[in-house]
Amino acid sequence: MLITDLPEKTAKLLNLIRREKKISQEKLALKCGIDRKYVNIIEKGNSNISIGMLNKLCNGLEVEISDFFTKLGK
């Protein structure tokens, strides 16, 4: 995986996990204490999020960040 692919792959995986868990962007945003519009921006791949933000999102999705990175690498 190229580093330039990282935002897009991260966005797709976050969206996939959120949909699998049947959580709306609004509900995820509320759980994470962030704006719903920002969740949308992230899921479109239009933001290079920090590890801290990724950790917040993983916590909101109830996914271990290590598991997220494992799935991201596949």
pTM to 2 decimals?
0.90
Whole-number pLDDT of residue 3: 63
Between residues 4 and 5, which one has the greater pLDDT?
Answer: 5
| pLDDT score of 12 | 96
pLDDT digits (tens, 9 = 90+) for 22-65: 999 999 999 999 999 999 999 999 988 999 999 999 999 999 99
Tell me how far CA of residue 33 lies from CA of 4, 69, 71, 72, in angstroms: 28, 22, 25, 24
Q: What pLDDT score was predicted for residue 73?
A: 85
Map out the domains of the chain with their CATH numbers.
3-69 (1.10.260.40)
